[in-house]
């Protein structure tokens, strides 16, 4: 998830690009860059770190141009550094572009381009696009046609803006899967990944759809498909405030991030499944895959929500890979001189990649000679850099302190790792294919659950004054109970506990009365009958029950006060679905209590101190 902005007109584009990038910084902030044309020459300035550092660098250069593009990066391929920052240019520096998205077939395209003699400067997937377009320019096509032909070969997602010094009167832009909006001005036009970057200059916008290419000149706009069909586009008037726009029109980042989950899970899966073999391909683990498959024990270490993801990972690894797996809080692991054997593999899961306890635990394990692996969201973060190998979750920047989309992406990546190992062990191709097919269906099932938002808000109204909550689940859904309780505590300040449902009778049952709401995570799986018994035990004691159940389960409605129905999937993937209503429930209760959802008291997004 990166931010892109572009300008063509009569004004100096440099301050417009910098202002736009500042507004887009929430989309990515590990490096930034601009590319402009001056007297048919291309000038590119890039900087690692925040846009303010780029701004300082640019101030000294005193640049002026009427056409330019700018980018703020959230790394997916290649660490955050100046070389990997955008724009990327062709080998003679006449063509440059900015890209938001992921190119799935970039390895294949890169191989072909290397054979043609193209030299790559960065580790990014984006750089293949600029050389691919260049290869068509070299065959004599104009810029627009070259972009169309190149995009016919590209698999994956993109929001692109491209400038060519030999056609200095235009910016060509294109979109598939990544947002892109064109701003129409008077004698000037704009492009951006979202309207917040250009709203200060125009309220007239055109939204590009997937597979569309647009040509922006200073006083004209036209659009075609990548297959060269002319299209008419409608101009819309923006009525939202800038503040609303940053949050994608949602009231809070947390809600925006909950709603993004179909897309973020898709991004975690993108390009990582090999359908015909019923397995996954994870480039970041390729050097260690044999060692990992042969490991005698897997340890998973993390904090908070990431630790809950680890617990689900334990169930997955033991069920399918048949490797004994243990999950431990990083804060405990780091101080208890853990026993680490020669054939242990240790995963460190962290959204930020900077959590102090997880980082210290990782360094301790590395020092003891273990194979240390990361599952991180932030590319180039300390854990990502210091582990021997790892997998990025590709969830994009998570701003809300309560982790939501990072969790479902972590579960998705754990499922992909399970497939990778299990297929190399005992899992059959057919069973691997079932898991892969089910995984691919998860994003649309999440979409379906998100449609229950209003229904869940009504349930939140009923329970907003509760002072305690109990969350109960079994098997794969026990960690979901813990995660649901954590979400409730951290943003609504309601005391909440998660337990394996069967543990209730060993203590928590004493708490049950008409003032104790109990959330049961009760999808139809092999423990369903058992959990129904637990529901009856709570019912008998007057507890108020909310159940997360499957769509085809009509029986459970008779036993509980409220049901939230989620689609069915295989057991190992169920947590990715069952957690979504719990995120929404916590969110709505916190909003109704008038609390600061995105920045709850006493909490920080990244806990970089002990
Ligand atoms: O960045 P990390 O995943 O390492 O962070 C770990 C925890 O601090 C984090 O999950 C925390 O528990 C969240 N606030 C939960 O929503």
Does ligand 1 have an atom closer than 6 angstroms to the CB of 42? Answer: no
Does ligand 1 have an atom closer than 6 angstroms to the CB of 257? Answer: no
**Reading across the β-sheet that carries 297-302, which strands appear in turn?**
325-329, 297-302, 344-350, 371-376, 389-392
Does ligand 1 have an atom closer than 6 angstroms to the CB of 606? Answer: yes
Does ligand 1 have an atom closer than 6 angstroms to the CB of 484? Answer: no
Q: How far is the CA of 566 from the centre of ligand 1 (A)?
A: 25
- Of the residues 253, 301, 302, 304, which should be mutated to test ligand 1's pocket, given the most ligand atoms within 8 Å of the CB? 304
CA distances from 283 to 16, 99, 301, 440 (A): 38, 21, 22, 19
Q: 122-144 b/e with 16+ CB inside 10 Å = b?
A: bebbbbbbbbbbbbbbeeebebb
Compute the distance between CA of residue 255 and CA of residue 238 in angstroms, rounded to an integer: 21
Low-confidence ranges of the chain (pLDDT < 70): 1, 26-28, 40, 243-244, 608-610
Does ligand 1 have an atom closer than 6 angstroms to the CB of 304? Answer: yes
Does ligand 1 have an atom closer than 6 angstroms to the CB of 401? Answer: yes
Compute the distance between CA of residue 331 and CA of residue 336 in angstroms, rounded to an integer: 9
Nearest to 36 by CA among 70, 14, 62, 68: 68
Does ligand 1 have an atom closer than 6 angstroms to the CB of 306? Answer: yes
> Which pLDDT score is estimated for 589?
98
To the query of whether residue 2 is one of the catalytic residues in this protein, the response is yes
Contact 498, 485 (CB under 8 A): yes
**378 CA closest ligand 1 atom index:** 1
Contact 172, 214 (CB under 8 A): yes
Compute the distance between CA of residue 337 and CA of residue 319 in angstroms, rounded to an integer: 28
**303 CA closest ligand 1 atom index:** 6
* DSSP string covering 224-263: EETT--EE----EE--S-HHHHHTTTSSSHHHHHHHTHHH
Coil, helix or strand at residue 475: helix
Does ligand 1 have an atom closer than 6 angstroms to the CB of 358? Answer: yes
**404 CA closest ligand 1 atom index:** 16
Q: How far is the CA of 305 from the centre of ligand 1 (A)?
A: 5
**607 CA closest ligand 1 atom index:** 8
Compute φ and ψ for 237, nearest 5 degrees: -105, 130
In this structure, is the dihedral angle defined by the CA atoms of residues 283, 284, 288 and 292, taken in order, positive or negative?
negative
> Which pLDDT score is estimated for 486?
98
Q: How far is the CA of 327 from the centre of ligand 1 (A)?
A: 16
CA angle 103, 109, 113 (to 5 degrees): 135
**603 CA closest ligand 1 atom index:** 14
Q: How far is the CA of 515 from the centre of ligand 1 (A)?
A: 30
* DSSP string covering 359-387: HHHHHHHHHTT-EEEEEESSTT-HHHHHS
Does ligand 1 have an atom closer than 6 angstroms to the CB of 404? Answer: no
> Which pLDDT score is estimated for 28?
63
> Which pLDDT score is estimated for 183?
96
Does ligand 1 have an atom closer than 6 angstroms to the CB of 607? Answer: yes
Q: How far is the CA of 606 from the centre of ligand 1 (A)?
A: 7
> Which pLDDT score is estimated for 158?
93
What tokens does 235 get?
A: 């101009």
Does ligand 1 have an atom closer than 6 angstroms to the CB of 490? Answer: yes
Taking CA atoms only, the protein residue closest to ligand 1 atom 4 is: 350
**605 CA closest ligand 1 atom index:** 14
Compute the distance between CA of residue 577 and CA of residue 574 in angstroms, rounded to an integer: 5
E runs forming strands in 39-170: 41-48, 67-73, 88-89, 95-100, 158-164
Query: Catalytic pick from 11, 57, 539, 605?
Result: 605
What pairs with residue 500 in β-bridges?
473
Taking CA atoms only, the protein residue closest to ligand 1 atom 12 is: 304
Give the Cβ contact number of residue 270 at 10 Å: 18
Does ligand 1 have an atom closer than 6 angstroms to the CB of 399? Answer: no
Q: How far is the CA of 490 from the centre of ligand 1 (A)?
A: 11
Residues 6+ positions from 541 with CB-CB distance below 8 Å:
509, 512, 513
Taking CA atoms only, the protein residue closest to ligand 1 atom 7 is: 304
Tell me the per-residue pLDDT of 131-153, one tens digit each, with 9 for 90 and over.
999 999 999 999 999 999 999 99
Compute the distance between CA of residue 69 and CA of residue 33 in angstroms, rounded to an integer: 9
Count CA atoms closer than 13 A to 514's CA, side-chain side. Answer: 0
Q: Is 235 exposed, middle or buried (0-12, 13-18, 19+ CB in 10 A)?
A: exposed
**305 CA closest ligand 1 atom index:** 10
Q: How far is the CA of 407 from the centre of ligand 1 (A)?
A: 9
Does ligand 1 have an atom closer than 6 angstroms to the CB of 351? Answer: yes
Q: How far is the CA of 307 from the centre of ligand 1 (A)?
A: 8
Q: How far is the CA of 309 from the centre of ligand 1 (A)?
A: 11
* DSSP string covering 171-198: EEEEEEBS--EEEE-SS-EEEESSGGGT
Taking CA atoms only, the protein residue closest to ligand 1 atom 11 is: 304
Q: How far is the CA of 352 from the centre of ligand 1 (A)?
A: 8
**302 CA closest ligand 1 atom index:** 4
| Eight-class DSSP state of 484 | H
Compute the distance between CA of residue 577 and CA of residue 445 in angstroms, rounded to an integer: 7
- Of the residues 302, 305, 392, 496, which should be mutated to test ligand 1's pocket, given the most ligand atoms within 8 Å of the CB? 305
Global pTM reads 0.78
Residues 6+ positions from 19 with CB-CB distance below 8 Å:
197, 200
What pairs with residue 32 in β-bridges?
47, 72
- The full set of domains in the chain, from first to last, is 3-245 (3.60.20.10), 256-449 (3.40.50.10490), 452-592 (3.40.50.10490)
Angle formed by the axes of helices 106-115 and 127-138, nearest 10°: 40
Does ligand 1 have an atom closer than 6 angstroms to the CB of 310? Answer: no
To the query of whether residue 605 is one of the catalytic residues in this protein, the response is yes
């Amino acid at each position: 998830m990166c931010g892109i902005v572009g300008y063509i007109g009569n004004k100096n584009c440099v301050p417009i690009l910098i202002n736009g990038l500042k507004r887009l910084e929430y989309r990515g902030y590990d490096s930034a860059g601009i590319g402009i044309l001056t007297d048919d020459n291309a000038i590119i300035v890039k900087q690692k770190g925040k846009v303010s550092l780029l701004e300082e660098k640019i101030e000294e250069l005193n640049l002026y141009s009427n056409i330019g593009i700018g980018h703020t990066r959230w790394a997916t391929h290649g660490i955050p550094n100046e070389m990997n920052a955008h724009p990327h240019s062709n080998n003679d520096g006449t063509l440059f572009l900015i890209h938001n998205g992921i190119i799935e077939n970039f390895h294949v395209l890169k191989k072909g381009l290397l054979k043609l003699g193209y030299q790559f400067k960065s580790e990014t997937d984006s750089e293949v696009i600029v050389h691919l377009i260049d290869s068509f320019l070299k065959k004599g096509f104009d810029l627009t046609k070259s972009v169309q032909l190149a995009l016919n070969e590209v698999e994956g997602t993109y929001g692109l803006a491209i400038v060519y010094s030999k056609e200095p009167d235009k910016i060509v832009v294109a979109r598939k899967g990544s947002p892109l909006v064109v701003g129409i001005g008077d004698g000037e036009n704009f492009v951006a990944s979202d309207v917040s970057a250009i709203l200060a200059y125009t309220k007239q916008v055109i939204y590009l759809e997937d597979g569309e290419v647009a040509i922006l000149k200073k006083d004209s706009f036209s659009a075609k498909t990548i297959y060269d069909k002319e299209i008419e586009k409608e101009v819309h008037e923006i009525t939202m405030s800038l503040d609303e726009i940053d949050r994608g029109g949602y009231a809070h980042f947390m809600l925006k991030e909950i709603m993004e989950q179909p897309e973020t899970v898709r991004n975690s899966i993108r390009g990582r499944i090999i359908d015909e073999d019923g397995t996954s391909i994870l480039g970041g683990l390729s050097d260690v895959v044999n060692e990992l498959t042969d490991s005698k024990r897997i340890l998973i270490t993390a904090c908070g929500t990431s630790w809950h993801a680890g617990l689900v990972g334990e169930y997955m690894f033991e069920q399918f890979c048949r490797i004994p797996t243990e999950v431990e809080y990083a804060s405990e692991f780091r101080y208890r001189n853990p026993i680490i054997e020669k054939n242990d593999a240790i995963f460190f899961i962290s959204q930020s990649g900077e959590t102090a306890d997880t980082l210290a635990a990782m360094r301790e394990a590395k020092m003891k000679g273990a194979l240390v692996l990361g599952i991180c969201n932030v590319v180039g973060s300390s854990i990502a850099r210091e582990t021997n190998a790892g997998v990025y979750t590709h969830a994009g920047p998570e701003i809300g302190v309560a982790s939501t989309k990072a969790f479902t992406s972590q579960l998705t990546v754990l499922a992909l790792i399970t497939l990778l190992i299990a297929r190399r062990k005992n899992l059959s191709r057919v069973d691997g294919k079932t898991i892969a097919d089910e995984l691919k269906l998860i994003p649309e099932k999440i979409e379906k659950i998100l449609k229950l938002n209003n229904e869940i808000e009504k349930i939140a109204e009923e329970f907003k004054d509760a002072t305690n909550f109990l969350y109960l689940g079994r098997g794969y859904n026990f960690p979901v109970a813990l995660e649901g309780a954590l979400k409730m505590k951290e943003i609504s300040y309601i005391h909440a506990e998660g337990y394996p449902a069967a543990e209730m009778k060993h203590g928590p049952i004493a708490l049950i009365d008409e003032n104790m709401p109990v959330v049961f995570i009760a999808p139809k799986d092999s423990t369903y009958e058992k959990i129904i018994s637990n529901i009856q035990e709570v019912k008998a004691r007057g507890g108020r029950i909310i159940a997360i159940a499957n769509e085809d389960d009509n029986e459970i409605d008779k036993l509980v006060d409220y049901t939230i129905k989620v689609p069915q999937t295989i057991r190992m993937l169920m947590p990715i679905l069952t957690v979504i209503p719990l995120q929404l429930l916590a969110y709505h209760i916190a909003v109704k209590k008038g609390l600061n959802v995105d920045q709850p008291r006493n909490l920080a997004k990244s806990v970089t101190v002990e």
